[in-house]
Amino acid sequence: MPTDLHFSLMIPELVVLGSAVLVLLLDAVLHGGGPRPGEEDPRDTTLALSVVGCVVAAAWIPAVLWNIEGPRSSFNGLFVADRFSLFFKLVVLVGAALSLLLSDSWLRRRRLSSGAAHALVLFATSGMMYMVSAGDMVTLFLGLEVMSIPVYCLAALLRWEDRSVEAGVKYLVLGAFATAIMLFGFALLYGYQGLVGGVATTQLEPLQTTLMANAEALPLYARAGGLLVLIGLLFKISAAPFHMWTPDVYEGAPLPFVAFMSVAVKATAAAVLLRVFGGPLLAVLGLDGMLWVVAAFTMVVGNFMALVQDNVKRMLAYSSIAHGGYILVGVLAGSAEAQAGVLYYALAYTVGNVAAFAVLVYLSRQGHEAERFSDLQGLGARHPLVGGVMVLAMLSLTGIPPLVGFFGKFVIFKAAVAQGYVGLTILALLTSAVSFAYYLRPVIALFMRPTVGCEVAVIPVNRRVALCMGLTSLAICALGVFSESYLGWLSSAVLALAG
Amino acid sequence: MDSLPLLTIVTFLPLVGGLLLFAVPKGAEGAVRWVALATAVLGFVVSLPLLGYDGVAAGMQFAENYAWIPTWGLTWHLGIDGISVWLVMLTTFLGPIVILGAWDSVSRRHTEFFFHLLALQTAMLGAFVAQNLAVFYVFWELMLIPMFFLIGIWGGKERLYATLKFVLYTVFGSMLMLVAIFYLYWLHHEQAVAGLLGPAAALSPWSLEFTDLYRVQMGADVQAWLFLAFALAFAVKVPMFPLHTWLPDAHVQAPTAGSVVLAGVLLKMGTYGFLRLGMPLFPAAVAEWAWVILVLAVVGIVYGALVAMIQPDMKKLVAYSSVSHMGYIMLGIFVLNPQGVEGGILQMLNHGISTGALFLLVGVLYDRTHTRRIWDFGGLAKVMPIYTTVFIVVALSSAGLPGTNGFVGEFLTLLGAFQWGHEAFAQTGSFWSSYGYVVVAATGVVLGAVYLLWMIERVFFGPILQSRWLGLKDLSAREGLVFAPLLLMIFWMGLYPKPFIDKMEPTVEAWIEQIRAGEKKAASLPQGFGSPANPSGELHSRLAASGDAQSEGSEGGGD
């Protein structure tokens, strides 16, 4: 019987879950099918509720939980609300709120009910929040499932479109495989903990302690357990060679929800990687060499495959793979500084990527998705501000200073070099030089190519998407230059991880 | 004046003006141009106080140092010395000229065009005044973006190919340099923590200050690797043979204004990088590998000149002449004596003025005729006498005619190279590895005269081949205003270069002294000092621990 029941630590999760349930109910009550004459559009209500839920949950974190006195773990260590998890919850919530803003106009144009979609985003978000707070393999697994299943549904949201269904099914099948592999790893580690550690527990900390204490004589099955868990997480972060699902899912899934999964799922996976394998454990399990190869392979595959894509969504999928590779370099380097770098990078990647997707959503219009490079042609001259946001997003993802993406790379590779990963850093930066060639393609299409077709449909002003673009652009410009103002938070978050 | 952050103002003024352009209501292209011009003129005026740089005292002046990201040791540290003051002045001087030159030739998207020009100016100025490697790198990379747009939007037919080639070449160099920067950054940290760099550095071990990094101790082999990484980045930008192939493409495709900035200032970034970073950071590597740079420099001189000779396109001819001229600059800098280095720096300014003017002149002709092929022309002197005169004066200054700026720079460079050869001959006794460089380089002077004069003959003299050229207008008043300051500078620097040399001389001498001292110091360090396995020499101290007790903070295995 757990003695420590601190529900107050879970308030953000409960708020998100509560708003998800409310959204579902409201959607049913308010005729989710669409507005009737003389009625308020129910989609506005569910959107407002979802966004407010995310914002309240996010605001609660710095306002209350960050500086809370007293215990930070609850339910016998199943749930840990340390600063590390709080940081990632913020990132995930920001990603979710921005994607919700994006999804609205997109759903409206397709005459889709928005309640279900919004609720799915919220459920997935709560799953991610439990995942990053997991102090225990069971919580971790439950969070993973709560995250994954709504995301599969979101991928298959357009159930009458083959592409979307394919994306959903592919993600589901491969995701289920990865989950099973990970679960098998948990089982092995649990067995090891029971046999060697003495106490059969699913908690992560005792397990890590046992593994570290017996670093000299780890049996093969314990190493194998670690390897299988790692593979499951590498699948979620879409590291090569476990990346095959990413481009297909990104291509088929609805645009705004691709934005959501590309940033939130990746940030969550990075957080769990750090939580489970942070510090010297990776080397103890003998997995550092493998992660080196995976990181290198991921950066090469991501950056080179992105070069040959015609579809912007596929290009962004490969780009997200490449960024996963950079994050893995930080995980591999493993020092406190490198871990802080991973946090920084997750933030930088989130704002850059959401900005890029926001532009794509903005430029999509009735019957005309902005998906291929040719769909973007010539639009920059007509919509210079929107094009400007795309330029900022691409330059930040490329790593042009003084945008936030550059500082993300700066802090990760600074730490990697300090840990002796000079070769990997050279590879990383050379592949990121390659990335210029494809990140500049949307910019070229927007500004340097003539418009296709005789006339461009006028794209109506969309305030919500514009708000999202404004916020992310501001973040891209300011987060890097004013890094000093929050670097302290990052190091205190990482400190929680160490002890 | 002390409290006024003059360099920050000079740097950011163009960008602020560029952003103001977007506030100009649509359809008022005239107003956009005027705002841009006013910004650039104001930028030049604001930079004039920098000429108050005290030439007698070498070292950084007008320095500003503010905390930026202290956790990482990044400071907003700006300053200029006798070298960068001239490059800053060159940049602000060319600013209004470029905008005035592009007055009528931009046909669409005026606001963006002038914005990118002004943003580019900010980026270049920032790189020249930066005293912190992070600040330098920010501006160094930022420079790419406006140029990418200038070529990509307002360029010629093959503009996308040219602009991507420009970006990718530069970026591959920069990324290797970035790795080297991270490495140096870490090495400074390790050595500062180990107490090798003195008590002040130990307090803030993470630092990217130029002056802090100059003191990092490395064996010659470690220096060679890092020098390679930095040198690649700078050599692409210069561009040095054989990394120059992006330049002709970029120049031919770029709009006139883009070409002028590219040739006038952007290329100087490469040679400035060698002066400020590549050489003082890695003096031992310079001593060991200077011959490679020198060989590539003289090859570039002759190769550029020979290829320029056979170009049918005037702009491409000028572009290849740039390759040749940049070779002189590299030669002058790497012979490491006062004449050579001063000649190299003067040549940087000369090349900025003369080649910038040549690109402007080609642009003037292109605006009128829409062709740049040499064989389309002939006898233009009869219809455009003033234009012809200006063109010939500028071309001759580029070829190094005595009395013009080009002569002073080339003469000093060759003199420096000769002296260097003289000393090398005394040591090695081999003619080709000593005097050989200056002999080959001097042939470049002759070749330079050949390709320029031959072009002048074909374009301006002889019969007028096509009747459509009969009605060509001569220089307008606006164009006269563009070229007048350039001509003034050509003769001023040609006839009375003393003020320029006086201001840079103490800096140059101190700079050479610094490199010589660094070279000696590095020579006293064992191989592998500063390598990843042995960042602060503990390995060597342990090996040499037999007896000679080393006090704390000593030079590791060195002294």
Residue A489 forms part of a structural domain: yes
Residue A499: the pLDDT is 59
State the ipTM, two decimals.
Answer: 0.92
Give chain A's contact residues with B (Cβ, < 8 Å).
381, 384, 395, 400-402, 406, 410-411, 413-414, 416-418, 420, 422, 425-426, 429-430, 432-433, 436-437, 440, 444, 447-448, 483-484, 487-488
Which band of pLDDT confidence, cut at 50, 70 and 90, is reported for residue B545? low
**By C-alpha distance, which of B546, B540, B547 is closest to B555?**
B540
Structure token digits, residue B518: 């660094």
Dist. CA A245–CA A237, nearest whole Å: 11
Q: Which residues contact B499 (CB under 8 A, 6 or more apart)?
A: none
For residue A406, the chain B residues in CB contact (below 8 A) are 138, 141
Answer yes or no: is A480 within a domain: yes
Inter-chain residue contact B175 with A483, CB threshold 8 Å:
no
Rounded CA-CA distance B97/B489 in Å is: 13
Confidence of residue A160 (pLDDT cuts 50, 70, 90): confident
Asked if B172 reaches chain A (Cβ–Cβ under 8 Å), the answer is yes
pLDDT digits 0-9 by tens, B395-406: 999 998 888 998
Least confident segment among A111-120, A289-298, B131-140? A111-120
Helix (H), strand (E) at residue B125: helix B110-129
Check whether B554 has a pLDDT greater than 80: no
Query: Helix H segments across A110-161?
Result: 115-132, 137-155
List the beta bridge partners of residue B313: B373
Q: Mapping DSSP to helix (H, G, I), strand (E, B) and coil, where does residue A79 land?
A: strand
Residue with tokens 């002056």: B211
- To test the contact with chain B by mutation, choose from A410, A413, A430, A451 the residue with the greatest count of B C-beta atoms within 10 A, namely A410
Q: Tens digits of per-residue pLDDT, B211-239?
A: 889 988 888 888 999 999 999 999 999 89
pLDDT tens-digit series, residues A44-98: 788 889 999 999 999 999 988 888 887 888 888 889 999 999 999 999 999 999 9
Domain assignment of residue A434, yes or no = yes
User: Residue A461: inside a domain, yes or no?
Assistant: yes
Residue A497: give the domain boundaries. 287-499
Specify if A153 maps to a domain: no
Q: Comparing A259-263, A303-307, B134-138, B463-467, which segment has the lowest mean pLDDT?
A: B463-467
Are B183 and A437 within 8 A, CB to CB? Answer: no
Q: For residues A406 and A397, give the distance between their C-alpha atoms in angstroms, rounded to a whole number.
A: 8
Q: Specify if A39 maps to a domain.
A: no
Using alpha carbons, select from B360, B329, B308, B327 the residue that is nearest to residue B487.
Answer: B360
Band of pLDDT at residue A457, cut at 50, 70 and 90: low
Is residue B547 over pLDDT 80? no
Q: Looking at the partner chain, which of A395, A414, A430 has a beta carbon nearest the beta carbon of B145?
A: A395
- Flag whether A11 is in a domain: no
Instruction: Give the count of domains, chain A.
Output: 1
- Give residue B356's pLDDT: 93
Task: Name the band, by pLDDT with cuts 50, 70 and 90, for residue A366.
Answer: low
Confidence of residue B543 (pLDDT cuts 50, 70, 90): low
Query: Residue B153: which of A440, A448, A484 has the nearest Cβ?
Result: A448
DSSP code at position B130? B
- What is the rounded distance in angstroms from the CA atom of residue B22 to the CA atom of residue A341? 36
**Other residues' Cβ atoms within 10 Å of the Cβ of residue B554:** 15
The more confident residue out of B466 and B410 is B410
pLDDT of residue B241: 86
Q: Does the beta carbon of B517 lie under 8 angstroms from any beta carbon of chain A?
A: no
Residue A344 lies in a domain: yes
User: What are the angstrom distances between the C-alpha of B37 and each of A96, B11, B96, B282?
Assistant: 46, 16, 6, 41
Would you place residue A377 in the very low, low, confident or very high pLDDT band (cuts 50, 70, 90)?
A: confident
Higher pLDDT, B27 or B65: B65
Per 3-state DSSP, what percentage of chain A is helix, strand, and coil (rounded to 5)?
75, 0, 20
Residue B299 reports pLDDT greater than 90: yes
Residue range B345-363, pLDDT digits in tens: 999 999 999 999 999 999 9
Whether A372 has a pLDDT exceeding 90, the answer reads no
Query: Which residues of A41-198 form beta strands (DSSP E)?
Result: 73-74, 79-80
What are the Cα distances from residue A30, in Å, to A40, A53, B334? 9, 19, 78
Task: State residue B25 phi and psi, 5-degree precision.
Answer: -60, 155
pLDDT of residue B551: 41
Name which of A167, A169, A38, A19 is nearest A96 in CA terms: A19
The Cα angle at residue A159 between residues A158 and A161, in degrees rounded to 5: 70
Cβ contacts of residue B19 below 8 Å, gap of 6+? B115
Which residues of chain B have a CB within 8 Å of the CB of A444?
Answer: 152, 160, 164
- Best CA proximity match to A276, nearest among A315, A237, A230, A240: A230
Q: What is the mean pLDDT of residues B258-277?
A: 92
pLDDT computed for residue B559 by the predictor? 32
Q: What is the pLDDT of residue B541?
A: 67
The model's confidence at residue A31, banded by pLDDT at 50, 70 and 90, is: low
Residues A310-328: tens digit of each pLDDT: 999 999 999 999 999 999 9
CA angle A78, A81, A82 (to 5 degrees): 120
